[in-house]
Amino acid sequence: MNTLNNKIALVTGGGRGIGEACAVALAEAGADVAICSRSSGEIDAVAEKIRATGRRALAVVCDVTEADQVRRMAEELNSHFGVVEILVNNAGLGRSHRFIDHPDELWDQMLAVNLTSVYRVTKAFVPKMIEMRRGRVINIASVMSKIGGKYVAAYAAAKHGVLGLTRALAVELVGYNITVNAVCPGYVSTPMTDDNVANIVARTGMSEAEARMALEKLSPQNRLIEPEEVAAMVVMLAGDIGQGINGQAINIDGGAVMF
């Protein structure tokens, strides 16, 4: 159903996994979609999938941790693609380490990619939404924005920050008809989870199948979430039907976390 006709969306980290699924789903719902990542190969391929739906696509190389690059991306989109009304902050990175001897560089990287990038990109695109007096900001957080876990101090801290930023902006921007929400998946069947599986194998000696099963068992449904499930929620939040949902953190994890 073309519920997003004549709307323009941006998906950060749009080259694979959840970002790719969100970009294609938004296009299938009628939106023109810009996607960005640090390299062109993957986003060029996703842009072709978007165009195959009959919608316009723009692939932009941008490191969302760099303020100057984010500013230039906003200028390019506003000048050559259109004003973004739907912003999906999806770019993220998952790394783990025990807290004892935790590398400072890893801490800085996790906060830069998973939290500060959300701040920078939202800051760059919200002013135009305010001018239009409408918009949707959808932050891909994680159930780790609500709970803790071993060996993920930096990741959990960053995702908790995303949830705090989501709630603060939801209150601040509601008067401009802008909603801000977070989608909080559990483990999703993506390349990032493949990296997690490889890390478990390397550290524990488990087989790949055993490591993947260990992640699946974290869900009461004994499975990984599919990227398209996350994308479906994003499309709902982006459309008119989601206008009453604001400041929320919606779990998609098979019932593992119930708050």
Active site residues: 155
Closest CA to 145 of 153, 134, 156: 156
Nearest one of 33, 40, 37, 30 to 14, comparing CA atoms: 37
- Polymer length of the chain: 259
Helix%, strand%, coil% for the chain, nearest 5: 50, 15, 30
Q: What one-character DSSP code corresponds to residue 1?
A: -
Contact predicate 95/106, CB 8 Å = yes
- How is residue 101 annotated by DSSP? T
Both tokens of residue 63?
A: 């490191």
- Exposed, middle or buried: residue 231 (CB in 10 Å: 0-12, 13-18, 19+)? buried
The structure tokens listed for 246 are 């604001």
| Maximum C-alpha span of the chain | 55
Residues near 114 by beta carbon (within 8 Å), at least 6 away in sequence: 92, 93, 155, 158, 159, 161, 162
Residues 6+ apart with CB under 8 A from 216: 187, 222, 223, 224
Sheet containing strand 86-89, strands side by side? 57-61, 32-37, 8-12, 86-89, 135-140, 178-185, 249-252
